[in-house]
Structures are given as C-alpha cells and as structure tokens.
C-alpha cells in the first residue's frame, strides 16, 4: 500500500529528497512510526520565542471508513507543552485533505503539494469545510485559515528544515515558526 503522500504526489514523490521520502513514507501496512526532535523559533505578531524544543510523531492507519490516514502529532515544549494534531487522507476525487480536529467538529482543508528542484516539499491550504456532526459547510475566504508549510533536507547540517506561516484574514491573526529537526523511524 502506498502512503498518503506517495499517492498524493504521484511521480513527484520520487523528486523529494530521500530523507523527506522516508518522513512521508509510513503506511498502514508497514507498522512504521516516524518521530523527530528539534527546535523552532516561533513568532506571533509581537510575541516571539527562540529555540523552543519540539517533538513530532507520525503514524499511519486505516480509519473506520477504510481510508489510509497519516496522523502527525507535534508537541511544542513550553512550560506547559502544547500539542497539535492533524491527519491527512487522500482521495482520487478531492486530492490530499488535511483534517484538523476542533473542539466541536473537524476542519477539513484541501492541500496543494509541490516539490522544488532541491527536493523540498511545499504544502498550501485550499478550500476548507467545517464539519459538525452531519452538518458541513464551506468556509468563505475571510473565515479561512491560510497556511503554507515548506520542508527541505539540509545536507550540511544533516536535518530537515521547516518554515510554517499561518494567516487568518478576518482577525488579522498571523503566526509562524521556522526551525529544524532530525527524523528517524522505529
């Protein structure tokens, strides 16, 4: 079984740097768990934090609908750790979809992927739907959260570098982080 990202990227998956290929490789049939440790610099308007330790874990499974899912959990180790959970699925009709659980529902966002000439991966958000129970509606532009993630493998430092930018147009809220991590599998 190909992983969610292998299916979403198609032949472009081979253009990813080999270390990034491993990072996005776990599938429900291989039992592999990816993990990583690193540090990020976080900024939010006038708030910023330098060298915040963080860890991540990725694992694949099949959900109750039989879909292949890649789940990633990132933990930012502040005085009180902050956990961010997200999962990706791939559908031939809708493409790659990020599901971000919310308190009273699930936010689903389509994702656009591209691989650059150095094997880095860019992920950007597309249309977004808020799903609460049996109700589902598309969020109009001002209510969306626009996000861009870029990861590449730094050969000189032997680590994955990442940049994340998030903007909420309606509230003017903007934040992001950049940093590096070392990934492995078990």
- Spatial contact of 105 and 130, defined as CB atoms under 8 Å apart: yes
Residue 58's domain comprises 4-185
Q: What's the length of the chain?
A: 186
133-185 tens-digit pLDDT: 888 999 998 889 899 999 999 999 999 999 999 998 888 778 899 999 998 88
- Spatial contact of 59 and 33, defined as CB atoms under 8 Å apart: yes
Instruction: Give how many domains the chain has, as a whole number.
Output: 1
Phi, psi of 14 (to 5 degrees): -65, -20
Question: What's the CATH number where 86 sits?
Answer: 2.40.128.20
Q: What percent of the chain has pLDDT over 90?
A: 60
Stated pTM of the model: 0.89
């Amino acid at each position: 079984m190909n992983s969610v990202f292998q299916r979403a990227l198609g032949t472009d998956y081979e253009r990813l740097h080999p270390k990034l290929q491993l990072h996005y490789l776990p599938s429900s049939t291989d039992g592999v768990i990816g993990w990583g440790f690193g540090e990020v610099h976080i900024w939010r308007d006038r708030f910023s934090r330098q060298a915040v330790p963080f860890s991540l874990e990725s694992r694949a499974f099949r959900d109750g609908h039989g879909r292949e899912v890649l789940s990633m959990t990132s933990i930012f180790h502040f005085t009180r750790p902050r956990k961010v959970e997200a999962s990706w699925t791939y559908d031939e009709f809708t493409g790659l979809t990020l599901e971000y659980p919310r308190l009273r529902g699930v936010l689903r966002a389509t994702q656009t992927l591209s691989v650059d000439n150095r094997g880095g991966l860019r992920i950007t958000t597309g249309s977004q739907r808020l799903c609460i129970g049996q109700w589902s509606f598309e969020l109009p532009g001002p209510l969306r959260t626009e996000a861009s993630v870029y990861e590449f493998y730094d050969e000189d430092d032997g680590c994955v570098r990442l940049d994340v930018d998030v903007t909420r147009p309606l509230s003017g809220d903007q934040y992001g982080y950049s940093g590096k991590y070392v990934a492995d599998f078990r």
